[in-house]
Structure 1
């Protein structure tokens, strides 16, 4: 029960996570994962083939590929971080909307519609700001990736021409290396277009693993603790105070006192 008392585990937040994270994992584990594996296998085979014909040019291309993969890795981590922040904000908005719908009459009687609307609008604006930053950063990284390829090809052409003039390379080897470069660039473009989806799926998968690996505060199977030797079945509540973690300032029980004798039936409503 303590799990659902936390603000991030409100029914609205859980519903929002189930609707978004399950879809993100399904998108990654479907046909898209097979296409990514196929592209990576093609890239690996092309690198091996390039080393056979011209290891010098292949090393240059391989260094550029490593830089692009590091850029894609940074974008995936950035996307996963933004998704976590965005999901937290949207979860709060969903929790607020769910609570208002369940207590609509109370909200109307207290005349706090405007305050609730202001809170919800503030959360929506926060989510918009996060997504706007995501769009700007993702567009900048994608432009760096796509815009750097023509400059790299220009440098590669210049190196090849210099080596051809000095008879350090053959025409056939040059054609094979450029065929490998073409396949490598297509693979990089394909992977870079999926970095946002991969970041979302990574964040969703991490949320599922955190939930599965969570250790409950109360262990039902534990035998540690105080054991009652002379238990007669009498239950006594003496000056009990209780409040929910999500609303610590509101006391549900204030100096509650009750004695239940053995065999006595008591209903708490």
Structure 2
């Protein structure tokens, strides 16, 4: 089994692809490190000369020469330290920025079911907390550890050159120093991973409560949530406390053993000076190098704890980077056919959600939708209506059967081609924390201001937008909190109109609105549906009576289809749905 320090560094080696583009910056930092370390090591010999020939030998010339050299050495050390600190800190910031970008690029390509199985707070913790920790390690701690390691090796070499007997005394303690590094390092790495996970739990819990703040306050659960959040915080603190205890123990044990060796060495060295076996300058130089070695060992042992913590964070990031999306474009996509008489075809499609593999959300569905046709999909809750939309957008792939777009299997087309053909208006509108321009233009990022305004007008949204405090420049707040439900829905419809997709997917777009808002939104939808193939998931049958065709679904199957008039005569399920709604 590898030691924790080794496995920790092996894990950090996976960051090399992010460091490779800046290898010359890294080389410059290492060169500055070598210069400063080498210059610092000459200071011991300068001290020896200063004492033996300057003070004891009473040579003013030697005293002046040694002090001049020491001043020059200090200038080199200062310059080298500046270069090393700047380059390494820059490298840490740059690599962290690249890493965050790479992780974000990965996240937004993952299949939607990944986000159903993993908490958003956990993912955000990896994107922010873990990368910040790595920035600290790469930009500071690792540089400090390398400097200490180089000084430790150089100091050992100078110890042998200065006095072999005293060096052997120091080396006798090295095995005793390595043992606690190995033992405690393993524990620190395990606890570091647990600590990062517990911090993610805290962020996830807080984020969920903030999102549901109105529910919390309406049920008067402020005190309850304060206590619950306190438990999460204390849990994270408990893990951190264990990690801190292990690191503190490691550092203190290493320092104790290191300076015990120095004390023993000083006793032996002092005895030799008094007996004339070595000079006072040699002892002073040896003490200087011994202190460099001891401080280097202590520093490396301290930073090893940070490295173990960074290894834990790196493991979490690499797990995310290695995650493969279940929904991907083919390596060589089929060419997209611009027009076809049959726009969409579902051929014996069956599907089960990964979280519910034993329950069929869709079962043996056969359906053809002509270009330009408006088709309403109705049925009780859980009938599979929304699942149908998710398969059309290729958020999931069916386990059996195939879906064709203009005669070509969706899985043979690129995801861009598939989703470019469709615009979704969901039941719960989703807006971004930005202004009106951004939210509508999301349907077509390169749209001109005139195109955005035209889309807003077609969606019957222009009137209320112009009455906002800053018009199209108005900030809408998180998920459009400053707008009513009907206004948010019309912004979404304007986005879909601007997108100008050939297929419009309407998922119960008016079910949660009051009568007046529903009327205005329905007007906007009628405008958006012109000259487009339209699929409408309808809760209110009154809004889809005039559709070209109605599909009745139940338990994942298509049980009936036809016009409203036909279904009122032939479909018992449709009759029940209609009688219940129209009687109300």
**TM-score of the aligned structures, taking structure 2 as reference length:** 0.37
Alpha-carbon distance, 1:31 to partner: 4.4
CA deviation map 1:128-169 (0-9, x unaligned): 2111212322222222223334432333334446767898x5
For residue 298 of structure 2, the aligned residue among 183, 189, 192 is 189
Match of 1:229 in 2: none
Structure with the bigger percentage of helix? 1
Q: Residues 55, 184 of structure 1: CA spacing in aligned structure 2 closer, same or farther, 3 A cutoff?
A: same
Tell me the distance in 2 between the aligned counterparts of 1:221 and 1:114. 52
The SS at the match of 1:88 is helix
- The equivalences for 1:224-243 within 5 A come to 234-235=345-346, 240-242=351-353
Tell me the distance in 2 between the aligned counterparts of 1:217 and 1:23. 29
The answer to whether the Cα contact below 8 Å between 1:46 and 1:180 also exists between their aligned partners in 2 is yes
Tell me the distance in 1 between the aligned counterparts of 2:227 and 2:139. 40
Match of 2:367 in 1: 260
Greater relative contact order, per chain length (Cα 8 Å cut-off, separation 6+): 1
Alpha-carbon distance, 1:14 to partner: 1.7
The SS at the match of 1:242 is coil
Tell me the distance in 2 between the aligned counterparts of 1:242 and 1:210. 23
The answer to whether the Cα contact below 8 Å between 1:76 and 1:198 also exists between their aligned partners in 2 is no
Q: Residues 24, 165 of structure 1: CA spacing in aligned structure 2 closer, same or farther, 3 A cutoff?
A: same
Tell me the distance in 1 between the aligned counterparts of 2:363 and 2:211. 28
The answer to whether the Cα contact below 8 Å between 2:349 and 2:364 also exists between their aligned partners in 1 is yes
The answer to whether the Cα contact below 8 Å between 1:160 and 1:174 also exists between their aligned partners in 2 is yes
Q: Residues 6, 77 of structure 1: CA spacing in aligned structure 2 closer, same or farther, 3 A cutoff?
A: farther
- The equivalences for 1:209-220 within 5 A come to 209-217=318-326, 220=329
For residue 16 of structure 1, the aligned residue among 125, 133, 150 is 125
- The equivalences for 1:107-256 within 5 A come to 119-160=228-269, 169-171=277-279, 173-217=282-326, 220-221=329-330, 234-235=345-346, 240-242=351-353, 245=355
Match of 2:539 in 1: none
For residue 3 of structure 1, the aligned residue among 114, 137, 142 is 114
Tell me the distance in 2 between the aligned counterparts of 1:184 and 1:40. 9
For residue 166 of structure 2, the aligned residue among 51, 57, 80 is 57
Q: Tell whether 2:187 aligns with 1:78.
A: yes
Alpha-carbon distance, 1:86 to partner: 1.8
Root mean square deviation of aligned Cα: 3.9
**TM-score of the aligned structures, taking structure 1 as reference length:** 0.71
Larger displacement relative to structure 2 (232-241 or 76-85): 232-241
Q: Tell whether 2:148 aligns with 1:39.
A: yes
CA deviation map 1:179-205 (0-9, x unaligned): 321111222333344444333333223
Query: Between Structure 1 and Structure 2, how many residues are aligned?
Result: 253
- Structure label with greater radius of gyration: 2
Alpha-carbon distance, 1:176 to partner: 3.7
Consecutive unaligned residues of structure 2, counting only runs of 5 or more, are 1-110, 333-341, 376-504, 508-584
Tell me the distance in 1 between the aligned counterparts of 2:225 and 2:361. 28
Q: Residues 156, 86 of structure 1: CA spacing in aligned structure 2 closer, same or farther, 3 A cutoff?
A: same
Consecutive unaligned residues of structure 1, counting only runs of 5 or more, are 224-231
